[in-house]
């Protein structure tokens, strides 16, 4: 697969990426657990078919100490026993928030389940994270940004 354009060397793309990446600092600095952040990024990347993002986020999760079992089972989280109820709620919200066109949006049940496990600031960080990862995965899928070459921590 050949990339269509490299957003990181294009003037407009690199400026856009700078702002998106800087907005992510609010999320990474939040009280939303780091493991949840990585699981959410992996799951949205899987749903959107983003090889570049999957490459990055699975490697970053492993480098941060996440187990191979938990990384490998994200796509089948409903059938796995390795996730907490809070993580399951975040993954459900991620799926519904990523697949907006496939349904009528995020259900009240999914929201209520997430709200049982996360306070208001954590919920906002979770929603913002779902928005950010979906924006980046869509950029990478549209431009055909490939996966496979990422090194953990490469982008700081």
Cα–Cα distances in angstroms (integers) from residue 120 to residues 91, 93, 130, 133, in the given order: 17, 15, 15, 20
Please state the separation of Cα 90 from the chain's center in Å. 11
> What does the pLDDT read at residue 91?
98
> What does the pLDDT read at residue 156?
63
- DSSP letters, 86-99, are HHHHHHHHHHHHH-
pLDDT in tens, 69-112: 999 999 999 999 999 999 999 999 999 999 998 888 999 999 99
Phi-psi region of 66 (alpha: psi -120 to 50; beta: other; left: phi over 0): beta
> What does the pLDDT read at residue 96?
97
What residue ranges in 50-98 does DSSP mark as E strands? none
Spans of the chain, pLDDT less than 50:
none
Spell out the domain ranges in the chain. 33-143
* CATH class for the region spanning 33-143: mainly alpha
């Amino acid at each position: 697969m050949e990339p269509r354009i490299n957003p990181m060397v294009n003037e407009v793309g690199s400026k856009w990426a700078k702002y998106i990446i800087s907005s992510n600092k609010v999320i990474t600095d939040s009280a939303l657990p780091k493991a949840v952040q990585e699981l959410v990024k992996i799951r949205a990347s899987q749903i959107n078919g983003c090889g570049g993002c999957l490459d990055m986020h699975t490697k970053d999760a492993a480098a941060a100490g996440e187990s191979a079992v938990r990384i490998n089972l994200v796509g089948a989280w409903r059938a796995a026993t390795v996730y907490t109820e809070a993580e399951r709620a975040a993954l459900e919200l991620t799926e519904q928030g990523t697949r907006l066109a496939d349904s009528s949006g995020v259900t009240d049940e999914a929201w209520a389940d997430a709200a049982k496990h996360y306070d208001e600031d954590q919920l906002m960080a979770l929603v913002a994270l779902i928005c950010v990862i979906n924006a980046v995965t869509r950029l990478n899928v549209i431009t055909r940004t490939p996966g496979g070459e990422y090194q953990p921590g490469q982008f700081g």
